[in-house]
Amino acid sequence: MPELPEVETTRRGIEPHVLGRTVVTLEVHEPRLRWRVPEGLAAQIAGQRVERASRRAKYLLLELTHGTLLWHLGMSGSLRVLRAGTPRGLHDHVDLILDSGFLLRFNDPRRFGSLHYTTEDPSGHPLLARLAPEPFDSQFDADYLWRITRRRRVAIKALLMNSRLVVGVGNIYANEALFRARVRPRRAASSLTRLEAQRLARAIRAVLTVAIRAGGTTLRDYVGADGNPGYFRQKLYVYERDGEPCRLCRTPVRAITQGQRSSYYCPACQK
């Protein structure tokens, strides 16, 4: 599933190809995504210029002259920049045709992705309005993490993956951040010390930064905007490394199941 780094990598990949370009049309070959692509959308956006390509949580925002496209990659979606006229393949559902001779193609085998358009301030859109802070927001710091962990007995890893408290920390990055912060995934959130909360806030940002620089993590069906797989996988410390030696202390990495997701940790490095 594309997580925050993959979406940010996609944003960076497509940005130079879409900025300042005018939308010729939108070809919707399969409108039945997670939500139906609104009818008449092509007519609404044709002729508008792409002013900005931004991201909020896992939504890509293409800000046009008079409105904003909100694109979500869902479980298996990808956006790629291709030459106009490139034949469509299986699961290629939407093409945004630009005046540059290129198009932005949305492929999504499982169709959990979505495409919305709003002429209002996108931050007030129902899909975005109630999202928690991003790990890179100034609000998200040691204090914030400290506050949200108080009186919460839920496991710290589950808390990190709760998008009502923080967005964009999926399973891979929660495991990796906890390793870097030297905290075991099953620890009760409220048991974190002030110092651990500080280490963890830093670790989350560090892990996501490294992943974005590496172009995301390649897992099954994720492909970056230019079709290249991400290279973060080679930098993982614990994720899917059960039984393999810890990269720091050589102790075998352990795997456990938490809330139907796998967690990985080093029993020596993490307390």
Q: Is position 2 annotated as part of the catalytic site?
A: yes
Q: Is position 235 annotated as part of the catalytic site?
A: no
Residue closer to Zn ion, measured from CB, 127 or 268: 268
Q: What is the 3-state secondary structure (H, E, C) of the chain?
A: CCCHHHHHHHHHHHHHHHCCCEEEEEEECCCECCCECCCCHHHHHCCCEEEEEEEECCEEEEEECCCEEEEECCCCCEEEEEECCCCCCCCEEEEEEECCCEEEEEECCCCCCEEEEECCCHHHCCCCCCCCCCCCCCCCCHHHHHHHHCCCCCEHHHHHCCCCCCCCCCHHHHHHHHHHHCCCCCCEHHHCCHHHHHHHHHHHHHHHHHHHHCCCCCCCCCCCCCCCCCCHHHHCCCCCCCCCECCCCCCECEEEEECCEEEEECCCCCC
Chain residues binding Zn ion by CB under 5 A are: 246, 248-249, 251, 266, 268-269
Minimum CB separation of residue 235 from Zn ion in Å reads 16
For Zn ion, the nearest residue by Cβ is 246
Minimum CB separation of residue 265 from Zn ion in Å reads 9
Could you identify the residue written with the tokens 């808390």? Answer: 159
Q: What is the rounded (10 degree) CA torsion for 68, 69, 73, 78?
A: -120
Residue closer to Zn ion, measured from CB, 72 or 180: 180
Q: Of residues 56, 58, 184, 241, which has the active-site annotation?
A: 58
Whole-angstrom Cα distance, residue 264 to residue 252? 10
Residue closer to Zn ion, measured from CB, 24 or 156: 156
Minimum CB separation of residue 246 from Zn ion in Å reads 3
Q: Of residues 2, 5, 135, 185, which has the active-site annotation?
A: 2
Residue closer to Zn ion, measured from CB, 41 or 253: 253
Q: Is position 3 annotated as part of the catalytic site?
A: yes
Minimum CB separation of residue 248 from Zn ion in Å reads 5
Residue 95 pairs in a beta bridge with 27, 105
Q: Which tokens hold the place of 238?
A: 């614990």
Q: Is position 56 annotated as part of the catalytic site?
A: no
Residue closer to Zn ion, measured from CB, 19 or 249: 249
Residue closer to Zn ion, measured from CB, 212 or 269: 269
Active-site positions? 2-3, 58, 261
